[in-house]
Amino acid sequence: MKILVTGGLGFIGSHTVVELQNEGYDVVIIDNLSNSSVEVLDGITAITGKRPHFEKLDLKIKDDVKSFFNTHSDISGVIHFAASKAVGESVNNPLMYYENNINTLVYVLQELSQLNQQNFIFSSSCTVYGQADELPITENAPVKPAESPYGNTKQIGEEIIKDTCKVNEKLNCIALRYFNPIGAHPSAEIGELPIGVPQNLVPYITQTAIGMREQLSVFGGDYPTPDGTCIRDYIHVVDLAKAHVVALQRLLSGNNDSNFDFFNLGTGKGSSVLEAIQSFEKVSGKKLNYKVVDRRAGDVISAYADTNKANDVLGWKTELTLDDAMASAWKWEQKIRNK
Ligand SMILES: NC(=O)c1ccc[n+]([C@@H]2O[C@H](COP(=O)([O-])OP(=O)(O)OC[C@H]3O[C@@H](n4cnc5c(N)ncnc54)[C@H](O)[C@@H]3O)[C@@H](O)[C@H]2O)c1
């Protein structure tokens, strides 16, 4: 079966392509390389022994999306990762985010709606919950007003999909709400490639450890948590990638209960920023230069997933640990710096 993966050369997309190919799917990748490199194809090929079909295409260009789907009308499913994802940048440039994250979604759904098989997986985020009133966070937790234009694009994206599913019974969609994806493939052939200063904790940790950054700032040490730092649910990107395959299989086999559903993807366990640092220090044997500084605006105190729905309904659960993720991220950092 032919599966389209948009944003398939990015961090989560590339790991998902590997898992899809490992399961025997034929993968077509669309990416405009705005936040990735074409060399990622070599990494995917080295792991799986198969080079996926790649089209460099910008999904903001409606006509290009149309002609792509005309040529590939035999697609059985779409996993839509392509989006811009930097929260701070979205605050400064909201229209760029609404254009890239919303227009592209609309164009893909319009074309998908013309196909025989209409199966769609959407990259959503736990940011839709904001600071949830209860922990762990279930899928029934209310969606809170978005803290940033980026977060808003995920909420609007889910609404667009839900509204479209109401009027198109042939369309089957799952939104996956990721918690905090980290790590790299254990082979270190692919991983996270932040462009510029990393926005996320783990690339900042590994870049500090390797000497690219002088010091890691831990934002806030006075939160109402056991060690005073924020708590997040760090999920290994390989576990996350496998969840996409399982979700896709649910749609392909027609096992879904409704034509729009959503699932939390996390480990169910919250770890503090200091615990994440300790895990890194343990697996790398390196002492990290970090300093606890003032809180950062917009950070929620604590967020971790209730994973029961994903475990019971999808039959998926995480297998890898925080230490596994840190070890793989460190191996990847060393590999790319050596290059
Ligand atoms: N990484 C996270 O922490 C996280 C958390 C929650 C949700 N998500 C969502 O998961 C998805 C994938 O995230 P990621 O971390 O792999 O990001 P990424 O930036 O590594 O991957 C996104 C890919 O999409 C491509 N792309 C962007 N706009 C495009 C366009 N107009 N046309 C074609 N390609 C385009 C980029 O070049 C990149 O390769 C995104 O939708 C993101 O919002 C990520």
| φ, ψ at 76 (rounded to 5°) | -95, -20
Q: Is the pLDDT of residue 297 over 90?
A: no
Q: Does ligand 1 have an atom closer than 6 angstroms to the CB of 234?
A: no
Work out which ligand 1 atom sits closest to the CA atom of 35: 37
Q: Is the pLDDT of residue 222 over 90?
A: yes
Q: Does ligand 1 have an atom closer than 6 angstroms to the CB of 35?
A: yes
315 residue type, one letter? G
DSSP output for 48-59: HS-PPEEEE--T
Catalytic residue among 150, 178, 204, 290: 150
Over residues 142-167, the pLDDT tens digits come to: 999 998 999 999 999 999 999 999 99
Q: Is 92 exposed, middle or buried (0-12, 13-18, 19+ CB in 10 A)?
A: exposed
Distance 113 CA to ligand 1 centre (A): 23
Over residues 55-91, the pLDDT tens digits come to: 999 999 999 999 999 999 999 999 999 999 999 899 9
Q: What span, in angstroms and rounded, lies between the C-alpha atoms of 268 and 333?
A: 27
Q: Does ligand 1 have an atom closer than 6 angstroms to the CB of 188?
A: no
pLDDT at res. 274 = 98
pLDDT at res. 200 = 92
pLDDT at res. 338 = 85
Q: Is 129 a catalytic residue?
A: no
Ligand 1, pocket-test mutation among 44, 85, 102, 161, most atoms within 8 A of CB: 85
Q: Does ligand 1 have an atom closer than 6 angstroms to the CB of 83?
A: yes
Helices 62-71, 104-112: crossing angle, 10 deg rounding: 30
Q: Per the structure block, which two tokens stand in for 204?
A: 């900042």
Over residues 271-286, the pLDDT tens digits come to: 999 999 999 999 999 9
Q: Does ligand 1 have an atom closer than 6 angstroms to the CB of 129?
A: no
